[in-house]
Amino acid sequence: MSNRTADCIELFSSIQGEGMLVGLRQVFLRFHGCNLSCDYCDTVSPAPPAVCQLEGTPGRRDFLPAANPVALNRIVGILEGWERGWPGLHHSLSLTGGEPLLNHETLQEWLPVLRRQLPIYLETNGVLHSALESVIQHIDHVSMDIKLPSTSNCGDLWDRHREFLRVARDKKLFVKTVIGSCTEEWEISRTCETIAAIDRTIPLILQPVTDREGGVSIPPKLVLELQELACRYLAEVRVIPQTHRFMGQL
């Protein structure tokens, strides 16, 4: 088994709250650290925590701390136990963060082992295309963000998103983009053109900014107009807010 380690925040079982697999039960492995700094981010802290919280029983929040960085055998031991005790419960293992691909060298060794337990679902900000290329053979699903300047304040990432789409296109792939009351039509057009240049059947999720209580502040009329605009370019455009927020952060 790999000797490589990674700084992680937590490992737990919950319901996927966003995107095309919303509602399915997954195991979430949350990595520390991100290469971006989105205005709406509430997950990234500058320094890794001293410990990673590992759930003992799926969904019971009976966490036990493990010193960071965490070794692969700690993760695999839990997954094996859960697959034995609750066969069929989990659809897949969600690699989330932060940005999991910052750990791509570790993932090259971890993923073949983890994938023996569950299919691999990658949640990514969609810019580290070289890192993705190094692990893409071990990944089943890709949930990729396209960051709009109006909501993320991350600047111009269009070329990097395009390259990322090229690498991810042969996987079960969808794109998610956060929209708010300040989102402009040109941003949705640019997003759709970027996706359609690769494949117009890649689904796009418009995700209204959702506050901690589950409130959505973007006017409904604007959401409908942005969806109508996107449907001129793409075959499948869905509006899905962050459902785990109004279910109490499951």
Residues at the annotated binding site for [4Fe-4S] cluster? 34, 38, 41
Contact status, residue 181 vs residue 146, Cβ threshold 8 Å: no
C-alpha angle 83/85/90, rounded to 5°? 40
**Which 166-185 positions form the footprint of ligand SF4 (CB under 6 A)?**
none
Contacts of 19-24 with CB under 8 Å at 24 or more apart are: 19/143, 19/174, 19/176, 19/205, 19/207, 19/240, 20/143, 20/174, 20/203, 20/205, 20/238, 21/91, 21/92, 21/121, 21/141, 21/143, 22/240, 22/243, 23/243, 24/91, 24/92
**Which of 44, 89, 229, 239 is in the footprint of ligand SF4 by CB under 6 A?**
44
Contact between 73 and ligand SF4 by CB under 6 A: the answer reads no
Q: Which residues are annotated as a binding site?
A: 15-17, 30, 34, 38, 40-43, 96, 98
**What torsion, rounded to 10 degrees, do the Cα atoms 113, 114, 116, 119 define?**
-140
One of 17, 97, 180, 241 touching ligand SF4 (CB under 6 A): 97
Nearest distance in Å: CB 160, ligand SF4? 12
Which one, 117 or 242, has the nearer CB to ligand SF4? 242
Number of residues that bind ligand SF4 (CB under 6 A): 11
37 is a contact residue toward ligand SF4 (CB under 6 A):
yes
- Whole-angstrom Cα Rg for the chain: 18
Whose Cβ is closer to ligand SF4: residue 55's or residue 145's?
Answer: 145
Pairing of strands 92-96, 63-67: unpaired
Smallest Cα–Cα separation from 93: which of 85, 107, 105, 104? Answer: 107
Query: The tokens of 155 are what?
Result: 């600047």
CB-nearer residue toward ligand SF4: 146 or 192: 146
Query: Using CB under 6 A, which of the segments 12-20, 45-53, 95-103, 190-198 binds ligand SF4?
Result: 95-103
Residue 142 has phi, psi (to 5 degrees) of -125, 120
Interface positions, 17-36, toward ligand SF4 (CB under 6 A): 34, 36
Closest residue by Cα to residue 135 from 114, 110, 108? 108
Considering the complex, state which of residue 41 and residue 231 has its C-beta at the smaller distance from ligand SF4. 41
Q: Does 7 bind ligand SF4 (CB under 6 A)?
A: no
Judged by CB under 6 A, does residue 198 bind ligand SF4? no
Figure out which of the listed residues 9, 20, 29, 38 binds ligand SF4, where binding follows CB under 6 A. Answer: 38
* Shortest reach from residue 42's CB to ligand SF4, in Å: 8
Kindly list the residues in this chain that would bind ligand SF4 in the complex (CB under 6 A).
34, 36-38, 41, 43-44, 97-99, 125
